[in-house]
Structure formats: structure tokens, C-alpha cells
């Protein structure tokens, strides 16, 4: 089999940059699939066609570009942000489509870690006599699909926790009142994060306290994002942890809007219904004992969500659930909104993460950015778990 050549020109980089820009168009719509872009270039260096993957079940980026190119694809070079697939899923293998279109060369940003692919697409192309190069702008491609890569490598979603607090790190008054500490602008800013997520996780405490819908409000999205989000078939899946079956369908809005909710518990909650075929479903998981109390095993929950194709999990939860995720060291990103308010020592704190005995035990992140949203401050913090992912 021919060896892979990894020598790239400035023109190659320009074309891959275009393909990566196309891939970003799928950030709000491709779940559970990765975001992929493709540019086809003629032997004389002209762009023939471009394509990107819009949503699961529809044509992949390579096929979209090839359909536009027609017979002009013969002898062309394809720039693809992720290794072309080699297996039959809801659509046919993209590697085979490139072969049938008589593409001469394929330049790939990064290998696909999906066990159904993972080099087999490259092998299929090479066996057909197509020249293959891989690794051009790989780090950017990995960042675009950080959530997909996390699920493939760690068998859990990429987890982003959102917290809103006062300057003194409080999320609610001692009475429990918490709406609204941060501004309307901050709550609007949250919408594009929700829109990019495969699922939104919360706990029974938050549902009981706030009766939230935990949905995306398209009218609060920027126009381009609203259009891209509209390509999805549905809202992000709402995932609720209810270990003690405290929730009921009658009392809470999210269970009556027709959009999908998945409630994890240890035994069936008949107040949510007995049929498990509609938009509100329940799933029982095992428990663990912490300080003489039973809690759902979040590692099982996260693995199950990964098996269900959840790449990016956006978390809007109370101090207990968010603290439990930090204790498990599975939080990849934190989005913290802070209002210029002081709530005082009796108010409720950010998380119930376990106490540390020394600063050496502290979970340390990297501040990615600090910005102003309305009157509030937004800080983005990254916690590293994989060298091959980023945001």
C-alpha cells in the first residue's frame, strides 16, 4: 500500500481553511455526527464545489460537494476536515463516493476515531490508487469536533457546566431565591450554548426550584445561528437526574411541551407515566452510597449518554449535581457568569464539590477568555482531559 504523504502548500492550507469554515456551519445541527466540510479543487487549482454535513441522516460533506461537482470531480483534489467514512450507515460510505467520482487526491485534516472508521477510510482510498495526505490543520479540526472526539476516546460526552453567581460566589439567597442573579443579556447569551449541545443536563433540585423549560429559544439567537439550529429535527434532549422520584408530569412544564426528556432514576416514577415510548422517558441506573445516602451512579449515566450518541452535554444544574461532576473530574469546560452583586455569607454557594485538604488537591483549569455580557462578567475556563480535544 502506498505511504501517506504529508507535505502541504500554502494553497493546500487555504483550501483546508475553507473546508473547516464549512464544517463550522454544522455545529448547531449535526448531532450525533461530527461536523465536516469538504472542498473540491480541479487539477488547475480552481474550486469546483464545496459541501458540509448539515444533519444526521442527510448526505455527508463529501457527497454534498460531489453532487454539485458532477463530472468535474474527475481528477480533482478533495480537502476534507475528517477522514471519509468507510461504512454503511444512514448514508453510504464517503470513501467509496470519492472513489466512484474518480477523485485523484484526498487531503484530510484528521483521522476519524470512530471504531467503524479509524483508518479504514484512508485504506479504502489508497487501495483504489488515490493519493492521501493527512494532518493538515489537524489541531483546528480537532477543536471543531472536540465533543465527538471526547465521546469516542472517553466514552462520555464532552461536558460544559454553566454557573451563574454573584461576585462573592453565591447562586441563591438562603431562602432559595435565585431568579435572576444575572442579567437578561447573560440569559440570552446562554441560548447559543444550548443550541450547540446534544443534550442539556439538570437535576431534580433545579426543576423543583425553577420549573425551567431548558430549551432553546430561537428568537434569542443570532440570525445565522437560528438558521443553522433550524436544520435540526428537534430541541436538545433534556436529561434530568431524579434519584428520589420527586418529579411529576403535572407540575413541571418540560414534561408537557412535546419535546424529549430523559429522566434517570433508580426505579420507575409512576408520576411521570408508565409508558416509556413518548417524549418523556425514564431509565433506571445503579446507585452508589456516599455518606450513608444513595445517589445515582453518574459514571453509568454519562456512559449511557455516550452510547446514545450525545457528544456535547450542557449542564445547568444546582450545587449538588455540578459539584458531583467536578468531584468526578469529568467537567471539560466551565462557563461562569458573575453579576456585580454581593449576596452575603448566608447565601448558597456555587457547588457542593468535596472539600480539599490542600491547595495541591484543587481542580485547576485554564482561563480561556473573560468578557462582559451586559452588566455581567463571563469567564470561560477549560479543564484538560485529552490532548486531542479543545474548545
Catalytic residue list:
62
DSSP letters spanning 148-198: HHHHHHHSS-EEEEEEEEETTSEEE-TT---TTSS-HHHHHHHHHHHHH-S
Contact 255, 249 (CB under 8 A): yes
Q: How far apart are CA 87 and CA 92, in angstroms?
A: 7
Helices 223-230 and 184-196 sit at what angle, rounded to 10 degrees? Answer: 40
What is the dihedral angle through the alpha carbons of 113, 117, 118, 122, rounded to the nearest 10 degrees? Answer: -130
Q: How many CB atoms lie within 10 A of CB 67?
A: 14
Three-state DSSP at 306 gives helix
How many Cβ atoms sit within 10 Å of the Cβ of residue 281?
16
C-alpha of 65 from chain center: 25
Q: Report the 10 Å Cβ neighbour count for 190.
A: 21
Place of cell 464544517: 23
CA distances (Å), origin 374, targets 36, 219, 226, 262, 304: 34, 18, 21, 33, 38
Q: Are 50 and 18 in contact (CB under 8 A)?
A: yes
Q: In 3D, which of 219, 164, 161, 231 has the Cα closest to residue 191?
A: 219
Amino acid at each position: 500500500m502506498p505511504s501517506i504523504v504529508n507535505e502541504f502548500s500554502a494553497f493546500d492550507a487555504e483550501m483546508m481553511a475553507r473546508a473547516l469554515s464549512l464544517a463550522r456551519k454544522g455545529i448547531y445541527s449535526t448531532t450525533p455526527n461530527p461536523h465536516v466540510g469538504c472542498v473540491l479543487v480541479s487539477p488547475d487549482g480552481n474550486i469546483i464545489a464545496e459541501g458540509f454535513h448539515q444533519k444526521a441522516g442527510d448526505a455527508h460533506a463529501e457527497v454534498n460537494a460531489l453532487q454539485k461537482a458532477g463530472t468535474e470531480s474527475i481528477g480533482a483534489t478533495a480537502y476534507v476536515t475528517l477522514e471519509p467514512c468507510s461504512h454503511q450507515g444512514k448514508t453510504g460510505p464517503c470513501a467509496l463516493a470519492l472513489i466512484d467520482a474518480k477523485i485523484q487526491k484526498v487531503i484530510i485534516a484528521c483521522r476519524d476515531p470512530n471504531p467503524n472508521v479509524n483508518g479504514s477510510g484512508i485504506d479504502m482510498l489508497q487501495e483504489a490508487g488515490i493519493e492521501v495526505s493527512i494532518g493538515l490543520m489537524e489541531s483546528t479540526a480537532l477543536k471543531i469536533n472536540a465533543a465527538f472526539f471526547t465521546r469516542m476516546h472517553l466514552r462520555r460526552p464532552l461536558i460544559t457546566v454553566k454557573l451563574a453567581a454573584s461576585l462573592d460566589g453565591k447562586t441563591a439567597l438562603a431562602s432559595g431565591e435565585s431568579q435572576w442573579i444575572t442579567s437578561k443579556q447573560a440569559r440570552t447569551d446562554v441560548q447559543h450554548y444550548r443550541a450547540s449541545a446534544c443534550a442539556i443536563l439538570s437535576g431534580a433540585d433545579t426543576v423543583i426550584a425553577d420549573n425551567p423549560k431548558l430549551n432553546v429559544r430561537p428568537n434569542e439567537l443570532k440570525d445565522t445561528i437560528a438558521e443553522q439550529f433550524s436544520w435540526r429535527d428537534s430541541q436538545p434532549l433534556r436529561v434530568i437526574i431524579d434519584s428520589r422520584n420527586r418529579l411529576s408530569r403535572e407540575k413541571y412544564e418540560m414534561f408537557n411541551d412535546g419535546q424529549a426528556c430523559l429522566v434517570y432514576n433508580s426505579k420507575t416514577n409512576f408520576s411521570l407515566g408508565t409508558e416509556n415510548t413518548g417524549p418523556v422517558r425514564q431509565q433506571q441506573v445503579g446507585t452508589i452510597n456516599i455518606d450513608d445516602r444513595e445517589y445515582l451512579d453518574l459514571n453509568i449515566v454519562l456512559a449511557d449518554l455516550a452510547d446514545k450518541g450525545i457528544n456535547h452535554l450542557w449542564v445547568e444544574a444546582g450545587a449538588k449535581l455540578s459539584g458531583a461532576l467536578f468531584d468526578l473530574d469529568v467537567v471539560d469546560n466551565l462557563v461562569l457568569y458573575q453579576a456585580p452583586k454581593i449576596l452575603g455569607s448566608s447565601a448558597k454557594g456555587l457547588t457542593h464539590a468535596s472539600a480539599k485538604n490542600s491547595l495541591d488537591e484543587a481542580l485547576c483549569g485554564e482561563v480561556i477568555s473573560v468578557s462582559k455580557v451586559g452588566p455581567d462578567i463571563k469567564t470561560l475556563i477549560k479543564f484538560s482531559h485529552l490532548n486531542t480535544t479543545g474548545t
